[in-house]
Amino acid sequence: MLTVAGLILLAWRPRDVLIALLAGLTVTYLVTGGYKIWLLVRGERANSDGPLHAAAAMGDDLPMYSVLVPLNREARILPVLLERLKSISYPPDRLEILLLIEMDDEETQRALGECTLGINMRPVIAPPGQPRTKPRALNIGLSQARGEYVVIYDAEDQPDSDQLRKAVGMFATMPDNVGCLQARLNFYNPTQSTLTRLFAVDYACWYDQMLAGLAYNRRPNSGEFVPLGGTSNHFRVETLRQLGGWDPFNVTEDCDLGTRLGRAGLQVAMLDSVTWEEAVPRARPWIRQRSRWVKGYIQSYLVHMRNPLRLLRQLGPRGFADFQMLVGGSSLIALLNPILWALTILYAASAGTEVARFIQTLFPLPLYYPSLLCLVIGNFIFFFCNAYVCVRHDYISLTRYTLLTPLYWILLSIGAWAGLLSLIRHPFYWAKTEHGVSLLQPGSAIAVDSAVAVESA
């Protein structure tokens, strides 16, 4: 009904309708941009106070821990993954590692047969069924997990060796309403290409700054929304089962689960540990990966906003605002950016013509100055924040690549539109990310792992 009414108004009063739309977009940019700046500042306060430290649990008398590792066509990276999992510092008899494999994934099963498994590793073959997604595999693993705690790792992950011990120690000191500990994510191949460098800057802003700001200084009973990472989130198994596990139809099951944690009154704390991942080095697979993320964010927004008042009541005002800005607002802006870029280019290209004069009439002074503020000041602040985060967290070599941020924004928008189209055409299709690409570059996985170890030290 709103669409039909809008089209009628657009045909009747096109200029007024376009001004109203541009005003709404400008408000969206101002509010979302201001919110992210506030979040970056909170992240700085959190980093200045230092992370929440908990002594790593020592000894061998530790609770049972389950590690879920979903695999799908991962023959290339499987031998490296198994060695990394063997390096986890946790009593072998108190640790189980479940390798979750699809029944028809003969490639991974054949590679697994050629590898030597640790005594606490076992493959779990998922029975036939739909949808063929990571969260469905995780639910199958959760049903068989024997641990008191559980963590998810992806095929390319290399967690800090003492991460599980740190999680046990931190859970012991946290109140019962802390339902998840999220470790930071970073890349072990940030210099493989220009894109991996920009991706590393993006991850630094998100995991080292924004997530820290989201989880900072929460009141014990306050509502919360924290979009989890897709890996290295630690849960109490009982809590996860009470929540119903993961939504198998959501292609960003992490964002959805983070929302459901908040709706259940549970909070997320940042774990002072790092898991090293593989950055996608080429544009086409990177867009494919990003399209799945944006598609899942839109899915999560549509699902949880079916009853906005209930969501507001369960998340609380701040959690509700976080959800609107980070899930709805970020997705919307990624989709809208190309339209406004095209309008700006059209105006510059048609200077002195009737087209340019018409575009000028769409920006009366009360709208022109806020729009100019977004264009000049807003973009400068985000440039500055990217550069600052690189310096703040010792990624000095990446600082100069922040000048290429507009190119990265273009890729983000391409991925967003690809995700929206995929949501319409194939709502539950899982666009898989190829892992092990960095192993094809000069320098073996062992060399990469050594470099990570030096950098961590």
- Who contacts 368 (Cβ-Cβ below 8 Å, separation ≥6)? none
Tokens encoding 337: 């950016």
User: Which alpha helices (DSSP H) does 264-307 contain, by range?
Assistant: 283-304
- Does the pLDDT of residue 49 top 80, yes or no? no
Lowest-pLDDT range, 139-148, 339-348, 428-437? 428-437
User: Which alpha helices (DSSP H) does 246-353 contain, by range?
Assistant: 253-263, 283-304, 308-323, 330-349
| Extended strands (E) in 134-218 | 149-152, 158-159, 178-187
* % pLDDT > 70, the chain: 93
Integer CA distances (angstroms), 357 to 20, 245, 354, 383, 437, in order? 18, 56, 5, 31, 50
Confidence bin at 230 (pLDDT 50/70/90): confident
Q: Side chain identity at 83, as an amino acid letter?
A: E
Predicted confidence at residue 378, as pLDDT, reads 84
DSSP conformation class of 24:
H
Per-residue pLDDT of 345-359, as tens digits, reads 999 999 889 999 999
Answer for the pair 79, 191: CB distance below 8 angstroms, yes or no: no
Predicted confidence at residue 51, as pLDDT, reads 62
DSSP conformation class of 344:
H
Quick check: helix, strand or coil at residue 235? strand
Between 447 and 19, name the one with better pLDDT. 19
CATH code 3.30.460.30 for 1-457: no
Predicted confidence at residue 10, as pLDDT, reads 81
Q: How far is CA 267 from the centre of its chain?
A: 17
Predicted confidence at residue 450, as pLDDT, reads 38
Answer for the pair 234, 261: CB distance below 8 angstroms, yes or no: no
Confidence bin at 436 (pLDDT 50/70/90): confident
Average pLDDT, the chain: 89
Element (H, E) at 7: helix 2-12
Between 59 and 236, name the one with better pLDDT. 236
Quick check: helix, strand or coil at residue 119? coil
Per-residue pLDDT of 67-120, as tens digits, reads 999 999 998 999 999 999 999 999 999 999 999 999 989 999 999 989 889 899
- Does the pLDDT of residue 55 top 80, yes or no? no
Coarse DSSP helix, strand, coil percentages of the chain, rounded to the nearest 5 percent: 60, 10, 30
What are the φ/ψ torsions at residue 114 (nearest 5 degrees)? -90, 0
